[in-house]
């Protein structure tokens, strides 16, 4: 074995033994048959990144004997996958491990759900590896001997940064793997080989068979990875984007015909996603970056000079692309069955991504009030990233806007009804009638203090009420 291989097997064996659940299962099962670490842990070790959970494969032990051996351990055994040859052992001290028998899988219909899984403890580990998606995921390490079983040269591909399918039927067998290819590119820094990209394109239509939740989960992993832009490029090139996010694909090649934008819309969008990625790991902000201009193609109008515009002009021509885009984002994310809170946040970021720069505290208070206090920082990040091209011509107003926001936050300047110096109880006590007019009164007071924060004292607000004729008899 090469030195690097010795290191890999040693690291994988150590990871398995150090993991409380995997270590105990290994100890118990190792007496009866061959136990291997497979999948993500081996791949991540070859890639030199901290491995995720250890998944075990046990060969040569009958399901009943696996079950009996695991049951003797302290903790619990989950049998929900037993029919498919998969057990999950939860150690009493916390942590769990998947213990699988060798399996072969094959499609018995067109869809992801039409799948037959055959488990057989007498199968060789190589046969199990043959049904896996990518060569880099099809490596096993024998945890007793340290032997690396790598029939598809997965290590070589991983070291070369390549994503390659184990079999040419990989995507036909399971279209979800087309999206796993995208998430692998983004998360593991791999590039699909020509043949793999070609196979993705060939089987992209099969993506319609997948349940929305599975698509969403894999797209989410893709956007959460370190290089979603590489994955988006691959998704465009293979036509996969058109199948899973047709509205995003509609930005491909779209000429903005603008003085302010030299890039085609999809290139601009990817640049924004890339800049947002550099700002941190917030996946919803990345979704917002991906969708921020999705409303542009259907909002465009062209002026007499041939320039494109993306807001509703006099006479009703064109549309405000951020409003159209927010509606589209809601539909897209609803279709993907995203949780409501995530939809709300992403849609709101898309809806408010266009705003004139604010240069005064008053304007900053108006902004916070309009977009909501939880959205201001993200909107500024989005705006900072919303630049054209690869040059760092970021909006120079953003640092000043951030400073203004910090100041009004630190000084607790009023930007919402809850920050007013009086509340509904005060109004009631002062004789204001109960009912919807109360909300309108508070809103009127808020508008006043947003314009002039010094008005936010009890005396000033009651004065204001008297002067404005609301509840004439109210007393401070
Ligand atoms: N696998 C596959 N086809 C799928 C899903 C999974 O071939 N549609 C295989 C892969 O070989 C993978 C293994 O099953 O390595 C375990 O899958 P999973 O735990 O989902 O992914 P990992 O690759 O282990 O890692 P991660 O969770 O980080 O994606």
CA of 221 to the centre of ligand 1 (A): 13
Cα(138) to centroid(ligand 1), Å:
9
CA of 81 to the centre of ligand 1 (A): 16
Q: CA–CA separation, 277 vs 415, rounded Å? A: 30
Q: What confidence score (pLDDT) does residue 475 get?
A: 47
Q: Specify the pLDDT at position 84.
A: 87
Distances (CA, A) of 64 to 69, 91, 98, 143, 348: 9, 19, 16, 22, 53
Q: What tokens were used for 187?
A: 């998360």
Q: What is the pLDDT of residue 389?
A: 54
Rama region for 315: left / alpha / beta (φ>0; ψ in -120 to 50; rest): left
Other CB atoms within 10 Å distance of the CB of residue 459: 11
Give the contacts of 471 (CB within 8 A, at least 6 positions apart): 427, 430, 431, 432, 433, 441, 465
Report residue 210 CA to chain centroid gap: 18
Distance CA 37, CA 55 (A): 6
Phi first, then psi: what are they for 110, rounded to 5°? -80, -25
Question: How far apart are the CA of 40 and the centre of ligand 1, in A?
Answer: 7
**Measured from the CA of 41, which atom of ligand 1 is nearest?**
24
Cα–Cα distance for residue pair 11/27, rounded to 1 Å: 17
Rounded-to-integer distance, Cα 264 and Cα 454, Å: 47
8 Å CB contact between 448 and 406: no
Give the DSSP H/E element, type plus range, for residue 309: strand 308-309
Residue nearest to atom 26 of ligand 1 (CA): 40
pLDDT averaged over consecutive 10-residue blocks of the chain (476 residues)?
A: 86 96 97 96 95 91 96 93 92 93 76 71 96 97 98 98 96 95 98 98 96 98 98 98 98 91 92 95 97 96 93 90 98 98 98 96 98 97 79 76 97 97 92 90 96 96 87 49
- Structure-block tokens of residue 122: 């007498």
Q: What is the Cα–Cα distance from 409 to 403, expressed in whole angstroms? A: 10
Pocket test for ligand 1, best of 38, 39, 86 (most atoms within 8 A of CB): 39
3-state secondary structure of 56: strand
> Ligand 1 centre and the CA of 130: distance in Å?
13
Residue whose structure tokens are 């539909």: 331
CA–CA separation, 201 vs 243, rounded Å? 10
- Which tens digits make up the pLDDT trace of 277-292? 999 999 999 999 999 9
What distance in Å separates the CA atoms of residue 425 and residue 423, rounded to the nearest whole number? 5
E-strand ranges in 16-121 read: 34-38, 55-59, 75-78, 86-91, 96-100, 103-107, 115-119
Nearest alpha carbon to residue 14 among 51, 60, 58: 51
**CB-side neighbour CA atoms (13 Å) of 235:** 32
| The pLDDT of residue 17 | 96
For 377, half-sphere exposure in the C-beta direction (CA atoms, 13 angstrom radius) is: 6
Residue whose CB lies within 8 A of the most ligand 1 atoms, among 137, 152, 164, 174, for a mutation test: 137
Residue 188 Cα to ligand 1 middle (Å): 13
Q: Going by DSSP bridges, is the β-strand pair 96-100/55-59 parallel, antiparallel, or unpaired?
A: parallel
With b for 16 or more beta-carbon neighbours within 10 A and e for fewer, the 27-62 pattern comes to ebbeeebbbbbbbbbbbbbbbeeebeebbbbbbbbe
Q: Which helix (H) or strand (E) holds 162?
A: strand 162-163
Atom in ligand 1 nearest the alpha carbon of residue 166? 7
Residues β-bridged to residue 76: 90
> Which pLDDT score is estimated for 93?
86
What angle, 0 to 180 degrees and rounded to 10, lies between the N-to-C axes of helices 212-224 and 176-188? 10
Helices and strands counted in the chain (H then E) = 24, 13
Separation of alpha carbons 418 and 317, rounded Å: 39
Report how far residue 230's alpha carbon sits from residue 235's, in angstroms, rounded to the nearest whole number.
9
pTM of the model: 0.92
CA 201, CA 198: separation in Å to the nearest integer? 5
Residue nearest to atom 27 of ligand 1 (CA): 40
Cα of 41 vs centre of ligand 1, distance in Å, is: 10
What pLDDT does 469 receive?
73
Q: Report the pocket of ligand 1 as residue ranges, CB < 6 Å.
A: 39-40, 52, 132-133, 137, 174, 176-177, 180
Q: Do 382 and 288 contact (CB within 8 A), yes or no?
A: yes
Q: Whose CA is nearest to atom 21 of ligand 1?
A: 40
């Amino acid at each position: 074995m090469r030195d690097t291989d010795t290191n890999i097997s040693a690291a994988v064996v150590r990871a398995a033994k150090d993991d409380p659940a995997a270590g105990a299962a290994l100890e118990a099962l190792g007496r009866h048959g061959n136990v291997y670490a497979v999948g993500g842990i081996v791949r991540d070790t070859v890639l030199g990144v901290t491995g995720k959970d250890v998944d075990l494969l046990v060969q040569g032990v009958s399901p009943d004997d696996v079950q009996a051996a695991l049951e003797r351990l302290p903790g619990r055994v989950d049998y929900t996958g037993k029919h498919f040859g998969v057990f999950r052992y939860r150690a009493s001290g916390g942590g769990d491990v998947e213990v699988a028998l060798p399996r072969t899988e094959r499609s018995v219909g067109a869809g992801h759900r039409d799948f037959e899984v055959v488990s057989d403890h007498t199968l060789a580990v190589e046969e199990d590896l043959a049904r896996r998606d990518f060569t880099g995921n099809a490596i096993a390490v024998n945890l007793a001997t340290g032997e690396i079983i790598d029939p598809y040269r997965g290590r070589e591909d991983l070291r070369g940064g390549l994503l390659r399918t184990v079999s040419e039927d990989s995507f036909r067998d399971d279209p979800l793997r087309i999206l796993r290819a995208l998430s692998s590119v983004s998360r593991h820094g791999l590039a699909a080989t020509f043949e793999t990209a070609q196979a993705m394109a060939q089987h992209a239509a099969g993506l319609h068979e997948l349940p929305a939740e599975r698509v969403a989960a894999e797209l989410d992993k893709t956007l959460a990875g370190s290089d979603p832009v590489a994955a988006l490029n691959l998704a465009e090139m293979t036509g996969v984007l058109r199948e899973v996010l047709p509205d995003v694909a509609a930005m491909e090649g779209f000429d903005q015909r603008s003085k302010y934008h030299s890039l085609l819309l999809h290139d601009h969008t990817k640049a924004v996603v890339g800049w947002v990625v550099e700002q941190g790991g917030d996946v919803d902000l990345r979704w917002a970056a991906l969708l921020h201009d999705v409303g542009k193609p259907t909002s465009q109008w062209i002026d007499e000079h041939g320039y494109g515009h993306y807001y509703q002009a006099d006479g009703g021509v064109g549309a405000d692309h951020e409003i159209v885009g927010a509606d589209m984002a809601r539909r897209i994310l609803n279709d993907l069955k995203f949780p409501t809170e995530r939809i709300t946040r992403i849609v709101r970021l898309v809806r408010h991504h266009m705003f004139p720069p604010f240069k005064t505290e008053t304007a900053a208070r108006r902004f916070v009030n309009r977009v909501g206090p939880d959205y201001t920082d993200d909107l500024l990040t989005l705006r900072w990233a919303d630049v054209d091209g690869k040059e760092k011509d970021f909006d120079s107003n953003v640092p000043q806007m951030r400073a203004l926001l910090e100041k009004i936050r630190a000084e607790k300047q009023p930007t919402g009804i809850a920050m007013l110096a009086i509340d509904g109880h005060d109004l009631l006590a002062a004789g204001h009638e109960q009912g919807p007019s109360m909300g309108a009164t508070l809103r009127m007071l808020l508008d006043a203090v947003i314009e002039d924060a010094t008005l936010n004292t009890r005396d000033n607000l009651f004065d204001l009420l008297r002067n404005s004729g609301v509840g004439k008899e109210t007393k401070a």
